[in-house]
Amino acid sequence: MKPKLASLIAAGLIAATGSALAADFSDTWLGYRRSNSYMDPGIAVDVPKNIYTLGHFSGYKYGTNFFSVDILQSLANDPAHRNSTSQAQELYAVYRSALSSTKILGTKYELGPVKDFLLTFGFDAGAKDTTFAPRPFKLLIGPTVNIALPVGFLDLSLLAYNETNNNGIVGKKVDFDTTWQVGALWGTFFNLGLPAKFTGFVAVTGPKGKDGFGVQTVTETLMRASLQWDVGTLASLNKGTVFAGIGYEYWNNKFGNPSSLPGTKTSAPVLYAEWHF
């Protein structure tokens, strides 16, 4: 693991642990998702993957913290290095913090479904052991509107987005232009034979200049959504402990690559499982 990535993951875990100790609420989980239909830029065939997640979400007196680490294991068609017989592995971490105006200022809004205005900020950091050797590091900051749903929530964000990365093929660091990202994050809860939840997010990121090959990037769209049932209740476990279900991932112009490059569009059914503790 690269030192910078390791330190960022450690910082995120420390922040998440600190928020949990003084939390209004706290949720930590292990997750698993699997699909045979993922795509990666430059690869013209499907790349099946197992993805393992450690996630944490908590609220405290000033807002919320979210942190996750994904371990992505390619199972075929994605060699770790050129001419390698082993498949690639990737580590990807996400940290988001949101400062709540209602919590900090003690303000309550009477604006229809609008419940809160927040300042969201954080980072993404990753590394993959391929010949390309990507090492993305992304900083994001901007306003978020929290909308109350009858049985859930919807967050709408407009963020400034800045990314650096690495291109191991040409052997150079890539500093992308600062751009915009608009996003939505949702969760709704109901009964569908068993207690269930429908959760997900969508993020649309603008063009960020030229990549390491000198190719102009384009607008990127990523959406993940899942419908999961609280299957732990079948085994008399506490509500909200074990979930399983199905999902869908749509990723167009992956990493900002134009559609002329193979492997830049994913449209994949996904299996999901989570254990909350």
3-state secondary structure of 222: strand
The per-residue pLDDT for range 32-81, each reduced to its tens digit, is 999 999 999 999 999 999 999 999 999 999 999 999 999 999 999 999 99
Residue-level pLDDT at 202: 98
d(CA 120, CA 156): 10
Residue-level pLDDT at 83: 85
d(CA 91, CA 125): 8
Mean pLDDT of the chain: 93
The per-residue pLDDT for range 124-172, each reduced to its tens digit, is 999 999 999 999 999 999 999 999 999 999 999 999 999 999 999 999 9
The per-residue pLDDT for range 70-105, each reduced to its tens digit, is 999 999 999 999 888 999 999 999 999 999 999 999
- Of all helices (H) and strands (E), which one includes residue 13? helix 3-21
Task: With a cut of 90, say whether residue 24 has pLDDT above it.
Answer: no
Alpha carbons within 13 angstroms on the beta-carbon side of residue 264 total: 16
Among candidate residues 174, 177, 181, the one with its CA nearest the CA of residue 122: 181
- The DSSP secondary-structure symbol of 233 reads G
Contact between 174 and 200 under an 8 Å Cβ cutoff? The reply is: no
Strand partners, 158: 182
Residues with Cβ within 8 Å of residue 201, at least 6 apart in sequence: 183, 184, 185, 186, 223, 224, 225
Residue-level pLDDT at 110: 84
The string of DSSP letters for 189-218 reads EEEESEEEEEEEEEEEE---SB-TTSPBP-
Domain boundaries, the chain: 3-276
CATH number of 3-276: 2.40.230.20
d(CA 73, CA 78): 10
d(CA 15, CA 67): 9
217 CB burial (10 A radius; 0-12, 13-18, 19+): buried
Beta strands 25-38; 47-60: pairing state: antiparallel
